Structure 1
Amino acid sequence: MAKDFSRIDRIAEQIQRDLAELIRLEVKDPRVKKVTLTGVEVTNDHAHAKVFYTSLDGDSPDLLQGLERAAGFLRSQLAHAMKLRITPQLHFVYDASVERGAHLSQLIDQAVASDKKD
Structure 2
Amino acid sequence: MAPPRRVERVAELIRREVSQLLVHNIKDERVGNGMVSVTDVIVSGDLQHAKIFVSIYGTDEVRTATMAGLKAATGYVRSELGQRIRLRRTPEVVFVEDRSLERGTKVLSLLNDLERNRPPEPLESVESEAPL
**TM-score, with normalisation over the residues of structure 1?**
0.89
Report how many residues are paired: 114
Q: Which runs of 5+ in 2 are unaligned?
A: 122-132
3-state DSSP of counterpart to 1:20: helix
Structure 1 residue identity aligned to 2:26: V
**Matched residue, 1:90:** 93
Structure 2 residue identity aligned to 1:55: I
Residue 29 (1) aligns with residue 55 (2): no
Deviates more, 1:84-93 or 1:57-66: 57-66
1:59-113 residue CA offsets vs partner (Å, 9 max, x unmatched) = 5321111001111111111111111111111111111110110000100111111
Residue 79 (1) aligns with residue 82 (2): yes
Shift of 1:115: 2.1
3-state DSSP of counterpart to 1:6: helix
Task: Give, in whole Å, the separation in 2 of the partners of 1:30 and 1:113.
Answer: 42
Describe how 1:45-60 pairs up with structure 2 within 5 A. Answer: 45-57=46-58, 60=63
Q: CA RMSD in A?
A: 1.6
**Matched residue, 2:65:** 62
Structure 2 residue identity aligned to 1:6: R
State the 4+ residue runs in structure 1 displaced beyond 6 angstroms. none
**Matched residue, 2:110:** 107
| Residues 93, 16 of structure 1: alpha-carbon distance in 2 compared, 3 angstrom cutoff | same
| Residues 48, 26 of structure 1: alpha-carbon distance in 2 compared, 3 angstrom cutoff | same
Deviates more, 1:51-60 or 1:81-90: 51-60
| Residues 49, 58 of structure 1: alpha-carbon distance in 2 compared, 3 angstrom cutoff | farther
**TM-score, with normalisation over the residues of structure 2?**
0.80
CA radius of gyration, larger in: 2
Structure 1 residue identity aligned to 2:105: A
Q: Which runs of 5+ in 1 are unaligned?
A: none
